[in-house]
Structure 1
Amino acid sequence: MIKEILGHLGQGDLESAVQLYSHCQEDIGYLLIAKAPRDQKLMQNLAKMLFAAKDFEKAAQVCEAMAEYKKAAELYARCDLYDNAAELYAKLEDWEMAAQMFEKHGDYNLAAEYYSKVNNYERAAISFEKAVNHFLAGKYYFQLKKYQKSMELLQKISSSDDHYLEAALMMGNILASHGYLDLAIQKYQNVAQTVGLNKSTLGVFYNLAQLLERQKKLIEAKKNYEDIRGLDPGYRDAAQRIAALETEIMKGVEVVDASAAEAELLEEIEELQPVEEAEQEVVAMPLKPAAAGPPAKAQIVSVMEGFEFLKSTSLFESLSLGEMKAFWNICANLQLQAGEILIEQDQPGQALFILKKGALLVQRIEGGKNKDLVELKPGAHVGEMSLVDNAPTSARVITKEDSELFQITREKFEELLNQNDKIAIKVYQVFINTLCQRLRQTTAELSAAKKASA
């Protein structure tokens, strides 16, 4: 059998080779690969035969042996061998695809590493979170300015963790920058009491002194600066701060300091850089100045505008809360005036649209004339098939009046589904149900039309 299949491949008779191979009860694929002569043309035919027989794993192995790494990676991914695919994409320096494959394989630390290479820091943060690496996930979210998520993760770091001090500095910074000075001071004091003053905690004591100074607790602030100077006489501007505070305490007036050193400390957080997993020295994070006047009622929690509406639509009713949030995050908001074309007939669709406010009109263009088919109200969705099919659309959709819509592009949709197979299964099931419902409706309308004309 092996010899016969190789003979067909040598003659370029792929159809006969596929038929023979597919009908073998035993798995002869590995033996076939081992015995195949290392002839480029024959190996190409062998890969084509295995692909046509839907033996994608062995087709991938043949492609890899021929150094056709991109084809091999695609085939490995097709048969869910994501680790093999990831290694080949990494070999090709396609870091984004390597990251996606490592993430699908469940190797989240490597996924985060490769996402960082292409500056996709949000996916890197998500991957670190999946890897239960609370520190690096929290640090990425912190530098992405997603402070609520950062706090949620950093709070899980225990005092015995090597990154406890840096996590505490970030949490204190978040609290202080949102106006919660008392909570920030409490956080730093807890660290100071737990760990004590040493070279690694100088940043914590320095930030604590700053906050105490800003709250006009001058004597306590001065003591912290003195403790810092006692351990490291040249640490930042501790000596200057002590001198300034001594003067102000003696005068009994409010501290006014316009020194360049403190101005530098109050600058914004530096731009995001890839986070190294190696242990780093903990330094004081810059703090935002407190706003003048009464204490700010700052809120770290953000509200997902339009989320309840999106969740109530039939399209997403089978999704869990977490899955719904994932979809909400890829939605864009559109505001269109009356008469604007949303979907053009006979053109490839580009996105799914969900109507929030206003009205849409579905039209059919025949012989240069527009025929109105149906009017759609809020909650309706159009264009879902364009997310899974490149075929031209069957109708035009325009806004009948000023309207607001959610838009999910094919690119964002595919990116989300590639990262979550469970969501993919649920969404495709909804699309199938929607298509079946529309087919039944069309069949019923045709049947009624025939009866009426009889």
Structure 2
Amino acid sequence: MQTEIERIEALIASERVADAVALLSETRAPLGYQLIERTARDGHRLGRLAKVFYEARSFRMVALCFEQVGSFSQAGKMYLKANDALSAAEMFWRDGQELEAAQAYEQGGEYSKAASLYLRLDEVAKAGTAFEKAGDGFQAGRCLLQAGRTDRAIPLLQSVLPESEHYLEATLLAAEGLHQAQLSALGVRRLELALEQREVDAETAPLFRQLALIHRDLGDLTTARSVLERLAAWNMGFEDTTELLSRLTVGMDDISPVEPLDDFMDARTRAGLERLKDHALLADCSLSELRRIYDHFERKLVEPGTPIISEGDAGRFLFILVRGRVSVRRGGEEIAQLTPGSWFGEMSLVDEEPASATVVALDTCGMLSISLDDFRHVLDADAEVARKFYKQFSRELSQRLRRAQA
């Protein structure tokens, strides 16, 4: 006596698809998984089984058939027809279709994952929309401002609360957006509220600078000069404070308008570069020397769990960690954690060997990166920066050797 599974298999083998569909539809027991498991090693039979499932409108089972044979793109499309957007996203991701994966994640409500993929694809406006759906006003506003959607970005940035770790950065970007939208007075007010009873420090310095520049563009040179003097009292070398103050003092008010910030990391990193002088490989460089090479770096935002460098891969990039933590792993075991201000990837400057460790983001990490070829060109073009860098680099190598031999 044949079982129902055997009867269905016999109908499929004789290509009686309609009869197989009818029998499958009449069967109360869920036989789909068992049929796939029994057919998994026979691609031809699995294809005919997929056709039966499709005619029976069992799209999830069709997707599983495609997944069994590695047709992840087709599996993703079938999962979408089965209203399983998250499984579809995983299939598209495995097939390398990042845009389709992002769209499926967004459809399935995984907005942060969707936003991260959109950022990888430079789909900044779509990333902003996904972050907005995720309730992350800061990231949404940052992306939308970068995409030129000022009208949507400003309210989102203004919604960031003072207790948020992103409040100052959001205020800075909101003020820039208001200034671009010819609402400079509102931008000034936002900055003044954020800076009320705050001293100038590495976090607030970019905001004070922006405040001075907006006052300058509004023609209020007295207030602009007063703000710049506060910056200068804190650190005369911050950004272009000395030059701006000098120009205002002699009445040169025909300076170009405020330059827009690329993203929150731009302003934060500019202040952070000065802090790097205390312990990084560019410690001997002046701020003006750092600024000459800064534009060669690319800003990156990396989500938790993302591999940044993989052990054994060709070392092609140098990284400076600006925000978050990363894990350094060798042979699958963690050997160190790095915090903001740390460099990694720099050993390839010397030996050009494959990466000796894997580096994985533990948090949402902001970082600067530059290809090793570009960095060599930077050093070749500036002998003084090269001298200072290699001096610090040699010192760092020496310290590592001593620690290894201890």
TM category, shorter:
0.5 to 0.7
Tell me if structure 2 keeps the 8 A contact 1:202–1:283.
no
1:168-199 CA deviation, whole Å, 9 max, x = no partner? 11221222233333322222111211543211
- 1:138 counterpart residue number: 141
Identify if the C-alpha distance between structure 1 residues 120 and 182 changes in structure 2 by more than 3 Å, giving closer, same or farther.
closer
CA distance in 1, matches of 2:75, 2:144: 35
CA distance in 1, matches of 2:204, 2:67: 52
- 1:288 counterpart residue number: none
Identify if the C-alpha distance between structure 1 residues 182 and 16 changes in structure 2 by more than 3 Å, giving closer, same or farther.
closer
The answer to whether the aligner puts 1:41 opposite 2:44 as a matched pair is yes
- 1:281 counterpart residue number: 268
Unaligned runs of 5+ in 2: 272-406
- 2:116 counterpart residue number: 113
CA distance in 1, matches of 2:147, 2:207: 22
Letter in 2 for 1:32: L
**Residue 150 (structure 1) shift:** 1.1
- 2:311 counterpart residue number: none
CA distance in 1, matches of 2:209, 2:176: 12
The SS at the match of 2:161 is coil
The SS at the match of 1:34 is helix
- 1:387 counterpart residue number: none
Aligned length: 268
- 1:353 counterpart residue number: none
Tell me if structure 2 keeps the 8 A contact 1:82–1:101.
yes
Give the TM-score normalised by the residue count of structure 1.
0.54
Tell me if structure 1 keeps the 8 A contact 2:214–2:258.
no
Deviates more, 1:157-166 or 1:204-213: 204-213
Match of 1:243 among 243, 246, 266: 246
The SS at the match of 1:158 is coil
Give the TM-score normalised by the residue count of structure 2.
0.60
- 1:95 counterpart residue number: 98
- State how 1:186-225 maps to structure 2 within 5 Å: 186-193=189-196, 195-225=198-228
Identify if the C-alpha distance between structure 1 residues 168 and 83 changes in structure 2 by more than 3 Å, giving closer, same or farther.
same
- State how 1:34-433 maps to structure 2 within 5 Å: 34-36=37-39, 38-193=41-196, 195-247=198-250, 255-258=251-254, 262-263=255-256, 266-267=258-259, 269=260, 281=268
Letter in 1 for 2:31: I
1:124-149 CA deviation, whole Å, 9 max, x = no partner? 22111111110111112212222221
CA distance in 2, matches of 1:243, 1:115: 43
**Residue 91 (structure 1) shift:** 1.5
Tell me if structure 1 keeps the 8 A contact 2:154–2:178.
no
Letter in 1 for 2:156: L
CA distance in 1, matches of 2:215, 2:75: 61
Identify if the C-alpha distance between structure 1 residues 178 and 2 changes in structure 2 by more than 3 Å, giving closer, same or farther.
closer
Letter in 1 for 2:117: Y
CA distance in 1, matches of 2:182, 2:137: 24
Identify if the C-alpha distance between structure 1 residues 52 and 245 changes in structure 2 by more than 3 Å, giving closer, same or farther.
closer
The SS at the match of 1:281 is helix
**Residue 157 (structure 1) shift:** 0.2
Letter in 2 for 1:130: K
- 2:402 counterpart residue number: none
CA distance in 2, matches of 1:122, 1:212: 30
**Pair member with larger Rg:** 1
Unaligned runs of 5+ in 1: 248-254, 285-454
CA distance in 2, matches of 1:124, 1:217: 37
Tell me if structure 2 keeps the 8 A contact 1:95–1:114.
yes
